[in-house]
């Protein structure tokens, strides 16, 4: 049985509205911050009936202190005296901090309960929809340091904001995580924007930007303007701090200075609706951005290589085409023209890769272009229709390059040799409408790509030897399928007539996952 999600548990056991569940999801996405500042486990409890029973739908452990729970609490339903503190927070809508420590095995813990509200569309504090249990492991209790006191004070402010319905803030587009975290660096500001506390890691991050003095007492918005290499970036970072002081939650900002890069996240502190300052989390991401730039450069280089390979292949195709026009022997001209088509099909893959951000291609478009080209250039008087069923999805370059060659050969072979020319003896197409057609079918099954190229033509000749016979094109197909693609191929007559080529190509786990998406 799989692990149930917050949404699954809420839908199965509660009457919460979708908007309530969305709010709880946002809280669970952002509450690592509160857990780390509190040095405590947070458990999200929702009432499951009117008799004082609660279900734990989410849990987070602190990265700054030992956990109070060795076992996962999600999915646990409790009632009676064990949830008395949750009942007070839920019924009275206030933070509960009373009571003696409780024991979980050999671990003493302090219980607290924070009501969770979702604000109404009018901006009013709504009803309590859940309760956050804040449970602190007391086994390592000692006199708190200045850092711990500042963390706990800030945690209490955020807890009150949860009770008010003003935390967590809305998530901005493109921001999938709550980074930076408490341990990366924390700066607390007063209502005027002056620094009242900066953690050692925050002080180090600003030192990388060129600020060597102590941060306490500094106007952080003005400091951001002074430090940033780019004035616009500095103004943007400063405006983020000022927005938080006004009670807003701006998007994350980056500051570049002296070759270093720092990510900042500014959050308003407004317990009980009173703006008392802001919390600024900072993280030195210099090395992350350096790697990003290296990857961008590498990706651009790879795309440029594919572009040049495509150009070179097109040049080779043009030279072969020119040579074919000068050759008088029909057999030699046909051989050169076939080579032109083979080179062009490989160039098509490299053209697609030159426009891709990774070494993978959406293969359906390539197949459709190769199929269209096969009907246009095939040396036949028969008009043949092309159709694709199913999807190839995303394929890595090493599979795509060989597979496009294989499909190009099979499609050309089907168009040129699968149907009798006008006036030529041979069975009519099996299609009821009498229209010659080739169908390419693809589907994925058990980490394999299954492909068939089937026509409704005259079928294989009686003397055809699938293993040894066939023209050069089929020899190329067999070599590529069994060699480069490590797959299998079978050429046979279709059940209802015509010819069918069936390929099975193994896919790596990563490729199978992308196709599944």
One domain, residues 294 and 282:
no
DSSP secondary structure letters along 166-200: --SPPPPTT--S-PSPGGG-EEEEETTSBEEEE-H
Domain region containing 422: 290-506
- Distance CA(423)–CA(302), nearest Å, equals 52
Give the chain's domain count: 3
pLDDT at res. 509: 44
Q: Within a domain: residue 472?
A: yes
One domain, residues 128 and 275:
no
One domain, residues 348 and 470:
yes
CATH number at residue 17: 3.30.450.280
Asked if residue 55 lies in contact with residue 48, where contact means CB atoms within 8 angstroms, the answer is yes
Parallel, antiparallel or unpaired: strands 448-455 and 488-493: unpaired
| SS3 of residue 51 by DSSP | coil
pLDDT at res. 310: 80
One domain, residues 302 and 398:
yes
One domain, residues 399 and 496:
yes
Q: Within a domain: residue 512?
A: no
Give the end of a domain, one of 164, 192, 210. Answer: 164
- Distance CA(34)–CA(60), nearest Å, equals 10
Per run of 10 residues, the mean pLDDT along the chain (length 517 residues) is 74 89 92 95 91 92 92 91 92 89 80 92 85 92 85 96 93 74 95 96 95 96 95 94 95 93 95 95 91 77 78 87 87 82 76 70 85 69 82 86 85 80 54 73 90 88 66 80 90 86 80 44
CATH number at residue 191: 3.30.450.20
One domain, residues 86 and 235:
no
- Distance CA(116)–CA(44), nearest Å, equals 9
pLDDT at res. 386: 86
One domain, residues 269 and 298:
no
One domain, residues 123 and 49:
yes
Q: Within a domain: residue 202?
A: yes
One domain, residues 406 and 311:
yes
pLDDT at res. 134: 96
CATH number at residue 451: 3.30.565.10
CA distances from 204 to 65, 208, 334 (A): 22, 6, 71
Q: Max alpha carbon distance in the chain (Å)?
A: 101
Length of the chain: 517
One domain, residues 244 and 362:
no
- Distance CA(22)–CA(354), nearest Å, equals 41
DSSP secondary structure letters along 404-436: HHHHHHHHHHHHHHSSPPTT--SPPPSSTT---
pLDDT at res. 434: 63
- Distance CA(53)–CA(46), nearest Å, equals 9
Give the end of a domain, one of 268, 288, 308. Answer: 288
pLDDT at res. 467: 64
Give the end of a domain, one of 288, 321, 348. Answer: 288
pLDDT at res. 130: 96
Q: Within a domain: residue 206?
A: yes
| Short-list 120, 118, 51, 119, CA closest to 86 | 51
Q: Within a domain: residue 1?
A: no
Establish whether the linkage from the previous residue to 168 is cis, with ω within 30° of 0. Answer: yes
One domain, residues 453 and 472:
yes
Q: Within a domain: residue 37?
A: yes
Q: Within a domain: residue 359?
A: yes
One domain, residues 236 and 269:
yes
Q: Within a domain: residue 516?
A: no
- Distance CA(26)–CA(485), nearest Å, equals 45
Cα-trace Rg, the chain: 34
Backbone angles phi, psi at 187, to 5 degrees: -125, 130
Q: How many CA atoms lie within 13 A of 294 on its CB side?
A: 6
The structure's pTM equals 0.62
């Amino acid at each position: 049985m799989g692990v149930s999600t917050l949404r699954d548990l809420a839908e199965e056991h509660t009457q919460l509205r979708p908007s309530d569940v969305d709010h709880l999801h946002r809280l669970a996405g952002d509450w690592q911050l509160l857990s780390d500042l509190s040095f405590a486990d947070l458990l999200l409890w929702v009432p499951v009936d009117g008799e004082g029973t609660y279900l734990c739908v989410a849990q987070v452990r602190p990265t700054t202190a030992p956990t109070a729970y060795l076992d996962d609490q999600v999915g646990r339903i409790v009632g009676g005296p064990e949830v008395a503190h949750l009942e007070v927070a839920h019924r009275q809508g206030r933070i509960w901090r009373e009571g003696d420590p409780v024991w979980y095995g050999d671990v003493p813990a302090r219980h607290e309960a924070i009501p969770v509200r979702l604000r109404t569309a009018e901006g009013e504090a709504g009803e309590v929809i859940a309760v956050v249990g804040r449970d602190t492991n007391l086994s390592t209790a000692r006199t708190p340091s200045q850092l711990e006191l500042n963390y706990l004070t800030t945690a209490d402010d955020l807890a009150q904001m949860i009770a008010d319905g003003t935390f967590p803030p809305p998530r901005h587009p493109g921001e999938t995580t709550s980074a930076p975290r408490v341990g990366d660096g924390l700066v607390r500001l007063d209502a005027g924007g002056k620094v009242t506390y900066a953690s050692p890691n925050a002080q180090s991050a600003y030192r990388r930007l060129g600020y060597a003095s102590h941060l306490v007492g500094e106007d952080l918005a003005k400091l951001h303007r002074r430090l940033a290499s780019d004035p616009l970036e500095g103004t943007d970072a400063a405006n983020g701090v000022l927005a938080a002081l006004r009670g807003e939650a701006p998007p994350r900002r980056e500051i570049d200075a002296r070759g270093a890069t720092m990510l900042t996240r500014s959050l308003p502190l407004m317990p009980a609706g009173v703006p008392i300052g802001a919390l600024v989390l900072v993280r030195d991401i210099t090395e992350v951005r350096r790697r990003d730039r290296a990857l961008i450069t590498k990706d651009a280089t790879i795309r440029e290589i594919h572009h040049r390979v495509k150009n070179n292949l097109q040049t080779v195709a043009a030279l072969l085409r020119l040579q074919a026009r000068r050759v008088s022997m029909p057999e030699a001209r046909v051989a050169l023209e076939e080579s032109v088509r083979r080179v062009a099909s490989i160039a098509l893959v490299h053209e697609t890769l030159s426009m891709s951000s990774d070494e993978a291609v959406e293969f359906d478009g390539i197949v459709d272009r190769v199929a269209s080209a096969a009907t246009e250039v095939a040396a036949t008087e028969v008009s043949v229709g092309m159709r694709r069923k199913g999807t190839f999805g995303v394929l890595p370059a090493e599979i795509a390059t060989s597979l496009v060659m294989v499909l190009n050969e099979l499609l050309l072979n089907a168009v040129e040799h699968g149907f009798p020319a006008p006036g030529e003896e041979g069975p009519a197409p099996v299609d009821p409408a009498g229209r010659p057609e080739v169908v390419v079918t693809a589907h994925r099954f058990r980490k394999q790509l299954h492909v068939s190229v089937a026509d409704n033509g005259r079928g294989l000749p009686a003397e055809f030897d699938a293993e040894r016979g066939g023209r050069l094109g089929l020899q190329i197909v067999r070599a590529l399928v069994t060699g480069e693609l490590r797959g299998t191929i079978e050429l046979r007559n279709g059940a209802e007539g015509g010819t069918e080529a069936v390929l099975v190509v193994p896919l790596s786990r990563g490729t199978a996952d992308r196709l599944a998406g």
